[in-house]
Amino acid sequence: MEIATLLVSCPDRKGIVASLAQLLYGHGANIVHSSQHTDELAGMFFQRIRFDLGTLTTDRETLEAEIRETAADFAMQWRLAYAARRHRVAIFCSKQEHCLYDLLIRHRAGELPCTIAMVVSNHSDLEDVARHFDIPFHHAKITPETKVFQETATLDLLRSANIDLIVLARYMQILSPKFVAQYPSRIINIHHSFLPAFIGANPYRQAYERGVKLIGATSHYVTADLDQGPIIEQETIRCTHGDSVDDLVRKGREVETRVLAAAVRLHLQDRILVHANKTVVFH
SS (H, E, C) 151-199: HHHHHHHHHHCCCCEEEECCCCCCCCHHHHHCCCCCEEEEECCCCCCCC
**CB environment 50-65: b (16+ within 10 A), e (fewer):** bbbbeebeeeeeebee
Q: Is 227 a catalytic residue?
A: yes
Between CA 259 and CA 255 the distance in angstroms is 6
Alpha-carbon distances of 150 from 116, 143, 153, 171, rounded to whole Å: 21, 9, 5, 15
Between CA 53 and CA 3 the distance in angstroms is 6
Between CA 50 and CA 61 the distance in angstroms is 18
DSSP state of 201: S
Strands, E, within the chain: which ranges? Answer: 3-11, 30-39, 44-52, 77-82, 87-93, 114-121, 137-139, 165-168, 187-191, 214-221, 231-238, 272-275, 278-281
- Cβ neighbours around 278 below 10 Å, total: 13
Which residue of the set 39, 227, 247, 270 is catalytic?
227
**Among all residues, which ones are annotated catalytic?**
227
